[in-house]
């Protein structure tokens, strides 16, 4: 099953510094048909104005992955971590027993990012934060950015305390990527930019594509595109 969720149908929130879309129920947006996919609970598409951001606030027992699409985000947390994650790169925060953090746009342009929350398999873990750069060129296929799947142990992916994976790819116009969803697993796919076809179904930039019972997923870029995919247990 492929369920395409047009960008305009997503939940929305806007104030003087944040323009957000919610793929799943979040904050004041409630849709009981869109509560998540498996352990994937939140996928927010945020645009943060320059010189603003999310002030210090707490989390616990959640894996929080941030994929920056444009600009950069500065992370500061109660463990003393400070770091800047730039466009195309990813950061992972293990909220675990509890962590307080701020996410600030200290750039001169808007920052656009996906924030993805995955329910962990392990609770009460030691909180932590990591970030890293990943290849930004087309032609390399889907790259595993963060994972807690056993088969990805020992890879250069950032670790997760969840049997899930976050993958991304840059695709040139006409390029295809094929991904295999194993039995008992589901996926959620968003093109950060560009139009794509998913098993022949058209999806525009920032549409959500829920994937269930699709053993093989062919993603074709109609123009240059960047895609992000989350693979979780159903």
CB within 8 Å of 205: residues ≥ 6 apart: 7, 191, 192, 193, 194, 195, 225
**Model pLDDT, residue 52:** 98
Residue 86 near residue 68, CB atoms below 8 Å: yes
**Model pLDDT, residue 61:** 98
**Model pLDDT, residue 154:** 80
Token pair listed for 51: 């010189």
**Model pLDDT, residue 148:** 97
Element of type H or E holding 101: strand 99-105
Token pair listed for 229: 């995919």
Instruction: Of 22, 42, 41, 24, give the one whose Cα is nearest residue 33.
Output: 24
Token pair listed for 159: 């670790």
- The pTM of this model reads 0.96
Q: Which domains does the chain have, with CATH numbers?
A: 2-233 (2.60.120.10)
**Model pLDDT, residue 137:** 83
**Model pLDDT, residue 95:** 98
CA torsion, ordered 183, 185, 191, 192, to nearest 10 deg: -150
Which residues of the chain fall short of a pLDDT of 50? none
């Amino acid at each position: 099953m492929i369920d395409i969720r047009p960008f305009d149908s997503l939940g929305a929130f806007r104030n003087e510094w944040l323009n957000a879309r919610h793929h799943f129920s979040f904050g004041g947006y409630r849709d009981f048909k869109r509560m998540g996919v498996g352990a994937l609970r939140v996928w927010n598409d945020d645009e943060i104005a320059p010189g603003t951001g999310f002030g210090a606030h707490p989390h616990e027992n959640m894996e929080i992955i941030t994929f920056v699409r444009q600009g950069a985000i500065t992370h500061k947390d109660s463990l003393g971590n400070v770091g800047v994650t730039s466009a195309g790169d990813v950061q992972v925060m293990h909220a675990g027993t509890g962590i307080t953090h701020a996410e600030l746009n200290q750039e001169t342009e808007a920052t656009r990012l996906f924030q993805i929350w995955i329910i962990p398999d392990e609770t009460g873990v030691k909180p932590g934060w990591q970030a890293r750069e990943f290849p930004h060129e087309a032609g390399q296929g889907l790259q595993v950015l963060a994972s807690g799947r056993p088969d990805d142990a020992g890879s250069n992916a950032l670790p997760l305390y969840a049997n899930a994976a976050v993958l991304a790819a840059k695709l040139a116009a006409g390029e295809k990527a094929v991904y295999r969803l194993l039995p008992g697993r589901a996926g959620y796919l968003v093109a950060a930019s560009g139009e794509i076809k998913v098993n022949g179904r058209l999806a525009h930039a920032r549409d959500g594509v829920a994937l269930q019972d699709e053993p093989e997923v062919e993603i074709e870029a109609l123009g240059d595109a960047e895609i992000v995919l989350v693979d979780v247990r159903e």
